[in-house]
Structure formats: C-alpha cells, structure tokens
C-alpha cells in the first residue's frame, strides 16, 4: 500500500494550522503532505488594517512559511490553484502543474462580496492581501502628495470606507491615527481630510452588543470619522461614491470592506456552495466527498441555533487544528472528531491604545485594556504557529 497523499490548498489560518497539525502529529512516512500557496509567506489577515493605513509595515503582518513549516516534512509548492477535479482527485495549478491527492484540504480563503454594487470591483480597493494593503498605503500617501501639487482637489483628501463591520471599523481606527502623521509629513491642514464610514445595515458592527457599537462609534467620531449608517452604497465611480440617499461623496480612495464570500474556485470546481461557501458536515468535509475537507472562509458551519458562524480567524484556526486531527485519524483508521468551535470572545481595535469587545464569559471590555487584550491574543497566535521567537520578533514596543 502506497503512502497516502494529503494536499492542502492555501496557507491562511485554516490551511496553515492544518499543515502545522500534521507536521506535529504524523509519523515519518505515514503520509506525504503538500502545502500549496500563492506566496512563500503566511499573512495575518486580521492585522491587515494596520499596514493598509500605514501604521505598521506590511512585513510586520506576514511570516515566511519556511520559518514555521518544516519543509523536510511538508512539501511546499508555490503556485496559484486554478481548479479542483474531485472525480480524478487532482488539482490543477495556474502554471499547468497537476497534483494528485488522496485527501484534500480546501483552505483557499475568501473573495470580496460586492453585492452587485456597480463599480466596486473596478474602482474600490480591498483590504485583502499583503500586495493589496501595500497598494492602499501607497495610494493614500500618493493622494496627500498629489493634493499639494493640485490644491483645489480636496477629493484627494477624502476617504470612503465602505462597510462598518469589523475590518471597516478597525481600518477607520488606524486611518484616523495615520492622518495626523500624513498631514505633518505633507504640510496638509488636517481640517481638510475627511473619512466616511458607510454602512447599509441599520447599525455599525452588525451582530455586536449595542453598548460596544456605541462605544466604537463615539471613539471614531471623536477621531474624525463621519458615519453614514443605514445607507447603502449605490454606485462607485472613478470620482467617488453615490449613496442610496442620493448623496455623492467625491473621493479618489474608496476602500470596500463590506463582506466576503468563499473563493470562486470552489464553486467552479463543482462543489455545492452558498455564497461561495461549502456547507460542510460535522467533520468539516464537503458533502459527498469523504476525502475533501473545507476549512476557513470557504466553509459554512452552523451554530446550534442554525445560524452560520462568521468567517473569523479564530474559527478558521480551530477548523484547521480539527482537520489535522481528523486526517491523522483517517490514515490510522481511527474515529473522527466532530468540529465544535470554542468561542473565546471578540476584540476590535480602534487605533493605538483603543479597542472594545467581549471576552470569554461575555464580559465587555473597553479602551486600553481591550487594546492590550487584543495584542495579547495576537501574540498567542504567533506563539502557537512559531513559538516564542516568532512572537517576540513581532512585538512592537
């Protein structure tokens, strides 16, 4: 009997934790594990609002994979996935290479959900990857520089953040920290800079406790954000956005954070999806495919009340760990363990030294303590994937 082949597609939270779990649990020659990823690095999606605003460097939010993955145990393939042929048990990469598998882990992450809003795909930025946030940061700086050579163009100094969910709110927190620095660097009057947070839902941070929402909005309003709540974006153009209210905001920088859907490769490969996500079984497997696990933003998991869990890093990490455990079980013919998330609370940052959230047990936290807890949770993750050395190397003092 030949060594079973496990192929993991994607080295985000879900894929990386699957790989690290297998690296730890598998014995020599029990399986041949291949990790496929577009980049040679893993990035911390939940940190990307910082480098996007320019309050920290993009390098800070990524870790080279060879620093955390044992490349002797896990075969790494740098490449972008083009399609999955589940009948043939193969994966085709964009460069034409074909990988065959016995077990597959789909951890391909998400795509921006634009809800059919005209112009968003063409003209809005997304906080989506190391490359995209470097572009956002450079674009913002470029706008300040351009304004100084065309001082009638105040639209260069207007920033529209579409979506007041987690990412949108955290990005606003960073951007309000960054603006005074940019104004100083480029000799721009801070009064001229406008930041709008636009949200279609009747509240910012839908799903959050109203007291937390109010706190976040107060902090950000004080820092200069203007909110447009219950206000869908109707259209995005090269000159800004048109809101459903008819209001037009002239801006050269629209950043869309209005939601995500699963990677379209999954649907194109014939898996049944809802908004790009596969409704997995209790072991995180695609229905009808006992050898295909789906984790992270491509997976749809329901809570006991029948509502889907939000696509968070926290859940993706746990899904990856659970999947690693179940892959080992399958190889050893042992029983599988159902996936049950252990929710540890949610913390949002609102810029330097500011945050809010709920911690384990439902306790609400605010301000500096929330910001510190968030940093502690980030450090715990780095420790988990790369040990003390990695955690310490990323601490900003």
58-63: long-range pairs with CB below 8 Å, 24+: 58/130, 58/133, 58/134, 58/137, 60/394, 60/396, 61/130, 61/133, 62/130, 63/382, 63/385, 63/386, 63/390
* Residue 131 in the binding site for its own copies (CB under 8 A): yes
CB of 105: closest distance to its own copies in angstroms? 26
Binding-residue total with its own copies (CB under 8 A): 17
* Residue 148 in the binding site for its own copies (CB under 8 A): yes
Of 101 and 144, which CB lies nearer to its own copies in the complex structure? Answer: 144
The Cα–Cα gap between 215 and 208 comes to 11
Of 186 and 227, which CB lies nearer to its own copies in the complex structure? Answer: 186
- Of 56, 82, 135, 291, the one binding its own copies (CB under 8 A) is 135
Q: Which residue has the tokens 């002797």?
A: 72
Query: Which candidate in 50, 170, 174, 319 is catalytic?
Result: 170
Q: Which residue has the tokens 């949200």?
A: 199
Of 142 and 366, which CB lies nearer to its own copies in the complex structure? Answer: 142
* Residue 132 in the binding site for its own copies (CB under 8 A): yes
CA 125 to chain centre: 14
CB of 46: closest distance to its own copies in angstroms? 21
* Residue 153 in the binding site for its own copies (CB under 8 A): no
Q: Which stretch binds its own copies (CB under 8 A): 141-149, 262-270, 324-332, 361-369?
A: 141-149
What is the crossing angle of helices 210-222 and 166-186, to 10°?
10
CB of 131: closest distance to its own copies in angstroms? 4
* Residue 139 in the binding site for its own copies (CB under 8 A): yes
User: Residue 3: which residues within 8 A CB-CB, separation 6 or more?
Assistant: 29, 30, 31, 32
Q: Between vectors from CA 162 to CA 360 and to CA 355, what angle results, nearest 5°?
A: 30
DSSP state of 370: H
Q: Which stretch binds its own copies (CB under 8 A): 142-150, 311-319, 329-337, 356-364?
A: 142-150
The Cα–Cα gap between 148 and 323 comes to 53
* Residue 134 in the binding site for its own copies (CB under 8 A): yes
* Residue 29 in the binding site for its own copies (CB under 8 A): no
Longest Cα pair distance anywhere in the chain, in angstroms? 73
Of 58 and 299, which CB lies nearer to its own copies in the complex structure? Answer: 58
Give the per-residue contact string, 236-275, with its own copies (x = CB under 8 A; - = no): ----------------------------------------
* Residue 146 in the binding site for its own copies (CB under 8 A): yes
* Residue 159 in the binding site for its own copies (CB under 8 A): no
The Cα–Cα gap between 341 and 304 comes to 11
Residue 385, CB-side half-sphere exposure with 13 Å CA sphere: 31
The Cα–Cα gap between 72 and 350 comes to 41
The Cα–Cα gap between 47 and 59 comes to 11
* Residue 144 in the binding site for its own copies (CB under 8 A): yes
* Residue 383 in the binding site for its own copies (CB under 8 A): no
Q: Which residue has the tokens 């309050």?
A: 55
* Residue 83 in the binding site for its own copies (CB under 8 A): no
Q: Which stretch binds its own copies (CB under 8 A): 16-24, 97-105, 133-141, 206-214?
A: 133-141
170: annotated active-site residue: yes
Q: Label residues 165-179 b or e (16+ Cβ within 10 Å = b).
A: bbbbbbbbbbbbbbb
* Residue 56 in the binding site for its own copies (CB under 8 A): no
Give the binding site for its own copies (CB under 8 A).
Answer: 59, 131-132, 134-135, 137-139, 141-142, 144-146, 148-149, 185-186
Q: Catalytic positions, please?
A: 170
């Amino acid at each position: 009997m030949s060594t079973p082949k496990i192929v993991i597609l994607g080295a985000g939270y879900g894929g990386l934790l699957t790989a690290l779990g297998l690296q730890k649990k598998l014995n020599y020659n029990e399986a041949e594990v291949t990790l496929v990823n577009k980049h040679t690095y893993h990035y911390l999606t939940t940190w990307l609002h910082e480098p996007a605003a320019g309050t920290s460097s993009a390098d800070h939010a990524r870790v080279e994979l060879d620093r955390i993955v044992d490349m002797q145990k896990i075969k790494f393939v740098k490449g972008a996935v083009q399609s999955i042929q589940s009948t043939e048990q193969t994966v085709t990469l964009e460069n034409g290479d074909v990988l065959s598998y016995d077990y597959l882990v789909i951890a391909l992450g998400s795509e921006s959900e634009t809800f059919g809003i005209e112009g968003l795909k063409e003209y809005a930025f997304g906080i989506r990857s190391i490359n995209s946030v470097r572009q956002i940061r450079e674009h913002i700086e470029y706008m300040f520089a351009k304004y100084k050579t065309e001082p009638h163009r105040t639209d260069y100094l207007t920033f529209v953040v579409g979506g007041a969910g987690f990412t949108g709110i955290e990005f606003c927190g960073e951007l309000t920290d960054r603006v005074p620095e940019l104004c100083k660097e480029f000799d721009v009057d801070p009064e001229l800079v406008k930041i709008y947070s636009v949200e279609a839902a009747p509240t910012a941070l839908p799903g959050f406790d109203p007291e937390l929402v109010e706190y976040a909005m107060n902090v950000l309003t004080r820092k200069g954000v203007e909110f447009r709540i219950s206000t869908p974006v109707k259209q995005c153009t090269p000159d800004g956005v048109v809101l459903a209210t008819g209001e037009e905001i002239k801006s050269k920088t629209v950043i869309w954070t209005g939601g995500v859907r699963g990677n379209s490769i999954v649907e194109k490969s014939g898996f049944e999806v809802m908004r790009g996500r596969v409704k997995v079984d209790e072991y995180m497997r695609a229905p009808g495919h006992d050898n295909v696990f789906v984790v992270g933003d491509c997976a749809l998991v329901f809570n006991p009340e029948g509502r889907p869990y939000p696509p968070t890093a926290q859940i993706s990490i746990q899904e990856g760990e659970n999947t690693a455990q179940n892959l080992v079980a399958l190889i050893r013919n042992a029983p599988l363990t159902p996936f049950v998330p252990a929710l540890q609370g949610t913390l949002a940052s609102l810029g330097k030294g500011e945050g809010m959230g709920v911690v384990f047990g439902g306790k609400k936290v605010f301000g500096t303590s929330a910001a510190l807890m968030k940093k502690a949770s980030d450090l715990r993750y780095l420790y988990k994937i790369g040990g003390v050395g990695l955690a310490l190397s990323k601490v900003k003092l």
